Homo-oligomer: A and B are copies of this chain.
Amino acid sequence: MNNNLVISIDAMGGDKSPRVVIEGLAIAAKKNHDIRFILFGDEAKVSPILNQYPDLKKVCELRHTNEMVHNEDKPSQVIRNRNTSMYMAIDAVRKGEAQAVVSAGNTGALMAISKLVLKTIQKIHRPAIVSIMPHYNGKYVMLDLGANTECSAINLAEFALMGDILARHALGIEKPRVALLNIGAEEMKGKEEIRQAAQLIKNSSMNIDFRGYIEPHEIPNGVADVIVSDGFTGNIALKSTEGTARLVIKMVKNAIKDSFLAKIGLPFMLGVILKIKKTMDPRLYNGAMFVGLNGLSVKSHGGTDALGFSVAVNNAISLVRRNFVSTIRAEVEKIDLDELSQEAIYDVY
C-alpha cells in the first residue's frame, strides 16, 4: 500500500479527547485505505486507546507532547508555544509531512496558529472559515463563518472565488451559483462593502456564475450553491439557523410528550423522524475548513462524537485528494483582484 496521503491530527483537541478523536479516526480509516495519520498528543493518554484499534494503529504515527491548547487560551498566547499538540500538528503541514490538519480544539487558536504557520496563499488577503450545509434539496458552501469580523470588498470577492472552487471540488457542482448574503435583493441594499464586492465580482475575470444578493430566508430553498459574507454576518446566520432548528425539534418533542394521541401515532412516524434527523444531523456537517492558506486546516466541533470527528477527517481527505489548495493557488494566479478593486471603486461612485 502506498500511503502517500497523510493527515495530521491534534489528538488532544475537543471536549472528549483523545478518545473521540481516535474513535473518529478508526471510522475514517475504514473508508480510506490509502491514508496515514500523524497524531500529536500525550502518549500516556493516546496510546492505551490507540491500542484498542490495531487496524488504525498500523496507519498511525504518534508523536508525543504533553502540552496542549486549552479552550480558554487566547490566540495571542497560543501562537508563542510551539510545543502544543495543535501547533505541532499544524507545523507538520508546513513541513510537508502532512497535507491537512484536523483539530477539535479552540477555533480562535487553530485559526491564529494556522495563519502564522501556513501563511495565506499569495494574493489572497484573508483566510476564511467555510462549512458545507444542507438546504432543501442538496448542500451549499458558506463562508466566512467567523474568521474575519469585518471584511473589505476584495476579501468578499476572494471568498466568492474560493467558495466557487470548494463547491466544484467538494460538492461536485459543475458551475456553482454564487451569491452575496445581504438584507435585500435590490442593488442599493446593504452595506457599502457588499455593493462594492458585487461590482468587483461582476467586472472581474473570475469565471463564476454570480447571482447577486441572497437574503438568509432564501438559503434553505437551494437557490445558490455558495453563500458569501463577512465572518460576523456569516456566524450570526449560522448560529440563528442552528438555534431555530433546535427550537423546532424541541417543540415537536415536547408536544408529542404532552399528547396521549400523539404517543399512539408515534410508531408510525418513526421513519419520518429518523429521515429528518439524518438530514439535519449536525455531525454530518461537522468540519469547518480554513481556506486561503498554504495547506488545509479543518476544525471539528469540540463537542462532537466519533462519527462527527470522522466526517471532519473525511472532509479534509476529500479536499486533499482533489488538490484543493493548489487549485486555489492556480486560479488566483489568473486574476488580479487588487487591480480590479480600483476599477470597482470608480464604478460605484
Contacts and interface: CB of A to CB of B under 8 A. Distances in A.
Given A221-B243, A265-B268, 17 more contacts: A135-B247, A136-B251, A146-B183, A149-B183, A149-B190, A190-B232, A217-B246, A220-B244, A236-B236, A237-B240, A241-B241, A244-B245, A252-B272, A255-B271, A261-B271, A265-B265, A269-B269
Contact of A247 (B136, B247, B255, B269): B136
A274 to B, nearest CB: 9
Interface residues of A, number: 53
A246 B268 contact: no
Contacts of A219: 240, 243
A264 interface: yes
Contacts of A241: 240-241, 243-244
A218 interface: yes
- A-side binding surface: helix, strand, loop or mixed? helix
Contacts of A345: none
A248 B250 contact: no
Interface of A: 135-136, 146, 149-150, 181, 183, 190-191, 215-221, 231-233, 235-237, 239-252, 255-256, 259, 261-262, 264-269, 271-272, 275-276, 279-280
Nearest to A232: B183
B243 A245 contact: no
A244 B251 contact: no
A136 to B, nearest CB: 6
A232 B191 contact: yes
A255 B236 contact: no
Given A191-B232, A265-B268, A271-B259, A220 B246 contact: yes
A133 to B, nearest CB: 11
17 contacts: A135-B247, A183-B236, A191-B232, A219-B240, A220-B243, A237-B237, A240-B244, A241-B243, A244-B245, A245-B248, A251-B276, A251-B279, A252-B272, A252-B276, A262-B268, A265-B266, A265-B269
